[in-house]
Amino acid sequence: MFRASGSKSRLFLATIVTVDPARELQRIYDGEINVRINGLWDCGIEVRLGDEVNGFLAEETFALVDGILPWLQQAIAHFYPASTYAQELDPEVSAAAAKRVFVPPSIGRRVNCPHCGAPNAAPRPMEEFAFICSHCGESVSVGAKQIQ
């Protein structure tokens, strides 16, 4: 129970939903959604959506563990809305994901091959580079990413 402050105090009942992190991460894994979670004691906990092969879509660094799952849920709802995992999320999570601005990854961003459309990981987001597509074998040149 929570009591509101002020002259006209009302009594509020709140339902607190506890999410089991192991169960939720297993659901994400079972949904074939790739994530990377790295922790370095004094640098926070870095969470990325994606992988080194196909590229990362978004990343965030957290000082506390309790922010990781809500961010992952919103990122998955935003980038993979048709996934089984996203379809099972509360509609409020999807609504919050639609309004949230996700930080592009500092390394390993995702670049789609212009020849075949396959996703590839890019080494750095702001530099010009070239690579061979992992799917079709064609050479791809990428210019510097424009900041908006």
The pTM (predicted TM-score) of the whole model is: 0.67
Q: What is the per-residue pLDDT across 4-32, written as a single tens digit (0 to 9) for each? A: 444 444 444 444 456 788 999 999 999 99
pLDDT in tens, 46-96: 999 998 878 889 999 999 999 999 999 999 999 999 999 999 999 999 999
Tokens encoding 45: 């906990």
Q: What is the Cα–Cα distance from 111 to 119, expressed in whole angstroms? A: 6
Structure tokens at 75: 């990122």
- For the stretch 104-141, pLDDT in tens is 877 666 778 889 888 777 665 556 777 788 778 888 88
CB of 54 closer than 8 Å to CB of 36: no
Asked if residues 140 and 120 have their Cβ atoms less than 8 Å apart, the reply is: yes
CB-based burial label for 112 (10 Å; 0-12, 13-18, 19+): middle
Beta partners for residue 132, in sequence order: 139
